[in-house]
Amino acid sequence: MRKIFMLCLTGALALATTSCKDEKVTTMQTITVNGRICEVKSAFYTDNPSEYGDEASFNLILLNDVFSQPPTGELSFYVGIELSESLYGKTVDLTKPIVKSGTLAPYLDIVAANEGQSFEIDNSEGSIDISVGEADTSLTVTSGTLKVTKNGGDFSVKLSVKLSDGKSIFADWTGKATKVTIPE
Protein backbone atom coordinates (compact mmCIF):
# COMPACT_ATOMS: atom_id res chain seq x y z
CA MET A 1 0.00 0.00 0.00
CA ARG A 2 2.83 2.36 0.86
CA LYS A 3 4.43 1.80 -2.59
CA ILE A 4 1.14 2.61 -4.32
CA PHE A 5 0.78 5.79 -2.24
CA MET A 6 4.35 6.91 -3.08
CA LEU A 7 3.81 6.21 -6.79
CA CYS A 8 0.58 8.23 -6.77
CA LEU A 9 2.27 11.07 -4.88
CA THR A 10 5.19 11.09 -7.29
CA GLY A 11 2.83 11.13 -10.29
CA ALA A 12 0.76 13.96 -8.81
CA LEU A 13 3.90 16.03 -8.12
CA ALA A 14 5.19 15.45 -11.65
CA LEU A 15 1.84 16.49 -13.12
CA ALA A 16 1.66 19.58 -10.92
CA THR A 17 5.19 20.57 -11.85
CA THR A 18 4.62 20.24 -15.59
CA SER A 19 1.28 22.03 -15.55
CA CYS A 20 2.54 25.20 -13.85
CA LYS A 21 1.97 28.33 -15.90
CA ASP A 22 4.55 30.47 -14.13
CA GLU A 23 7.02 30.58 -17.01
CA LYS A 24 9.36 33.28 -15.75
CA VAL A 25 12.39 33.74 -17.98
CA THR A 26 15.56 34.41 -16.02
CA THR A 27 18.80 35.63 -17.49
CA MET A 28 22.07 34.58 -15.92
CA GLN A 29 23.41 38.17 -15.64
CA THR A 30 26.91 36.98 -16.47
CA ILE A 31 29.79 37.49 -18.85
CA THR A 32 32.23 34.72 -19.71
CA VAL A 33 35.63 35.20 -21.33
CA ASN A 34 37.72 32.13 -22.17
CA GLY A 35 35.88 29.99 -19.60
CA ARG A 36 35.96 32.46 -16.70
CA ILE A 37 32.41 33.35 -15.64
CA CYS A 38 31.62 36.49 -13.67
CA GLU A 39 28.48 38.31 -12.64
CA VAL A 40 27.90 41.70 -14.26
CA LYS A 41 28.11 44.28 -11.47
CA SER A 42 28.52 47.51 -13.49
CA ALA A 43 27.52 48.61 -16.98
CA PHE A 44 28.21 51.88 -18.82
CA TYR A 45 27.30 53.10 -22.29
CA THR A 46 27.75 55.98 -24.69
CA ASP A 47 25.59 56.96 -27.63
CA ASN A 48 27.56 57.75 -30.77
CA PRO A 49 26.09 60.00 -33.50
CA SER A 50 26.26 59.11 -37.16
CA GLU A 51 29.44 60.49 -38.68
CA TYR A 52 31.96 59.86 -41.45
CA GLY A 53 29.53 57.58 -43.30
CA ASP A 54 28.97 55.28 -40.29
CA GLU A 55 25.59 54.74 -38.65
CA ALA A 56 24.71 56.01 -35.20
CA SER A 57 25.70 53.43 -32.59
CA PHE A 58 26.35 52.80 -28.92
CA ASN A 59 29.28 51.48 -26.89
CA LEU A 60 28.40 49.24 -23.94
CA ILE A 61 30.86 47.85 -21.41
CA LEU A 62 29.95 45.09 -18.94
CA LEU A 63 32.18 44.81 -15.87
CA ASN A 64 32.56 42.26 -13.10
CA ASP A 65 33.33 44.86 -10.40
CA VAL A 66 31.21 47.62 -8.90
CA PHE A 67 32.10 51.07 -10.25
CA SER A 68 30.26 54.36 -9.74
CA GLN A 69 31.89 55.76 -12.90
CA PRO A 70 33.80 54.16 -15.76
CA PRO A 71 37.23 52.96 -14.67
CA THR A 72 40.36 54.32 -16.29
CA GLY A 73 43.43 52.35 -17.30
CA GLU A 74 43.71 48.68 -18.21
CA LEU A 75 40.91 46.39 -17.06
CA SER A 76 41.58 42.74 -16.33
CA PHE A 77 38.07 41.39 -17.11
CA TYR A 78 35.23 42.85 -19.20
CA VAL A 79 33.12 42.57 -22.33
CA GLY A 80 32.55 45.60 -24.57
CA ILE A 81 30.21 45.94 -27.54
CA GLU A 82 29.83 48.66 -30.15
CA LEU A 83 26.77 48.19 -32.32
CA SER A 84 25.16 50.21 -35.13
CA GLU A 85 21.56 51.34 -34.83
CA SER A 86 20.33 49.18 -37.74
CA LEU A 87 21.47 46.05 -35.87
CA TYR A 88 19.54 46.75 -32.63
CA GLY A 89 17.14 43.92 -31.83
CA LYS A 90 18.40 41.66 -34.62
CA THR A 91 20.20 38.36 -34.18
CA VAL A 92 23.52 38.89 -35.94
CA ASP A 93 25.45 35.89 -37.30
CA LEU A 94 29.01 36.65 -36.20
CA THR A 95 30.53 34.21 -38.71
CA LYS A 96 29.53 36.46 -41.62
CA PRO A 97 30.64 39.99 -42.43
CA ILE A 98 28.06 42.72 -41.99
CA VAL A 99 27.10 44.24 -45.31
CA LYS A 100 25.98 47.76 -46.08
CA SER A 101 22.27 47.86 -46.86
CA GLY A 102 21.60 51.61 -46.91
CA THR A 103 23.58 54.77 -47.37
CA LEU A 104 25.40 54.45 -44.02
CA ALA A 105 27.82 51.67 -43.08
CA PRO A 106 26.79 49.39 -40.17
CA TYR A 107 29.41 48.55 -37.58
CA LEU A 108 29.93 45.84 -34.97
CA ASP A 109 32.88 45.57 -32.61
CA ILE A 110 33.26 43.17 -29.68
CA VAL A 111 36.19 43.35 -27.30
CA ALA A 112 36.85 41.22 -24.23
CA ALA A 113 39.58 40.67 -21.68
CA ASN A 114 40.41 38.00 -19.13
CA GLU A 115 43.38 38.49 -16.81
CA GLY A 116 44.57 41.37 -18.96
CA GLN A 117 44.70 39.40 -22.23
CA SER A 118 42.32 41.14 -24.61
CA PHE A 119 40.99 40.26 -28.01
CA GLU A 120 38.76 42.11 -30.43
CA ILE A 121 36.38 41.15 -33.22
CA ASP A 122 35.89 44.01 -35.68
CA ASN A 123 33.09 43.30 -38.14
CA SER A 124 32.80 46.23 -40.50
CA GLU A 125 33.33 47.21 -44.10
CA GLY A 126 32.48 43.71 -45.30
CA SER A 127 35.19 41.86 -43.37
CA ILE A 128 35.83 40.34 -39.95
CA ASP A 129 39.19 41.25 -38.42
CA ILE A 130 40.36 39.68 -35.17
CA SER A 131 43.21 40.97 -33.06
CA VAL A 132 44.77 39.71 -29.83
CA GLY A 133 46.22 42.51 -27.78
CA GLU A 134 46.99 45.02 -30.50
CA ALA A 135 48.23 42.45 -33.04
CA ASP A 136 46.21 41.37 -36.08
CA THR A 137 45.71 37.61 -36.41
CA SER A 138 44.46 35.08 -38.93
CA LEU A 139 41.87 33.78 -36.43
CA THR A 140 38.30 33.23 -37.59
CA VAL A 141 34.92 33.17 -35.87
CA THR A 142 33.83 29.51 -35.93
CA SER A 143 30.41 30.12 -34.37
CA GLY A 144 28.54 32.98 -32.84
CA THR A 145 25.50 35.18 -32.56
CA LEU A 146 24.75 38.51 -30.95
CA LYS A 147 21.39 40.05 -30.14
CA VAL A 148 21.20 43.36 -28.30
CA THR A 149 18.10 45.37 -27.58
CA LYS A 150 18.34 48.94 -26.33
CA ASN A 151 15.66 51.22 -24.97
CA GLY A 152 17.30 54.32 -23.52
CA GLY A 153 19.68 52.93 -20.90
CA ASP A 154 17.92 49.55 -20.66
CA PHE A 155 19.75 46.76 -22.47
CA SER A 156 19.38 43.06 -23.14
CA VAL A 157 22.48 41.25 -24.40
CA LYS A 158 22.72 37.67 -25.66
CA LEU A 159 26.21 36.96 -27.00
CA SER A 160 27.90 33.70 -27.87
CA VAL A 161 31.10 33.59 -29.93
CA LYS A 162 33.92 31.08 -30.40
CA LEU A 163 37.15 31.66 -32.30
CA SER A 164 39.25 29.17 -34.24
CA ASP A 165 41.90 29.04 -31.49
CA GLY A 166 39.34 28.20 -28.76
CA LYS A 167 38.90 31.69 -27.33
CA SER A 168 35.29 32.46 -26.45
CA ILE A 169 32.98 35.19 -25.18
CA PHE A 170 29.50 34.74 -23.77
CA ALA A 171 27.15 37.31 -22.28
CA ASP A 172 23.65 36.87 -20.91
CA TRP A 173 22.66 40.17 -19.35
CA THR A 174 19.60 42.35 -19.01
CA GLY A 175 19.75 45.56 -17.05
CA LYS A 176 20.23 49.30 -16.88
CA ALA A 177 23.55 50.81 -17.93
CA THR A 178 24.76 54.21 -16.80
CA LYS A 179 25.13 56.70 -19.66
CA VAL A 180 28.48 58.46 -19.81
CA THR A 181 30.11 60.92 -22.17
CA ILE A 182 33.63 60.59 -23.45
CA PRO A 183 35.55 63.86 -23.53
CA GLU A 184 36.75 64.84 -26.98
Give the integer Cα–Cα distance in Å for 113 and 133.
9
pLDDT greater at residue 59 or residue 13 = 59
Q: Is residue 2 part of a domain?
A: no
Q: Is residue 8 part of a domain?
A: no
Phi and psi at 125, nearest 5°, equal 55, 35
Taking only the tens place, the pLDDT of each residue in 52-88 is 777 889 999 999 999 999 988 888 999 999 999 999 9
pLDDT at site 27: 55
- Number of domains present in the structure of the chain: 1
Q: Is residue 3 part of a domain?
A: no
pLDDT at site 22: 42
Range of the domain at 40: 23-179
Give the integer Cα–Cα distance in Å for 147 and 158.
5
- Average pLDDT of the chain is 84
Given pLDDT bands bounded at 50, 70 and 90, which one contains residue 183? low
pLDDT greater at residue 86 or residue 125 = 86
Beta bridge partners of 162: 143, 168
* CA-to-CA separations, 10 to 5, 13, 22, 62, 125, in angstroms, rounded: 9, 5, 21, 44, 59
pLDDT at site 18: 36
Phi and psi at 12, nearest 5°, equal -65, -40
At 3 the three-state DSSP class reads helix
Give the integer Cα–Cα distance in Å for 31 and 105.
28
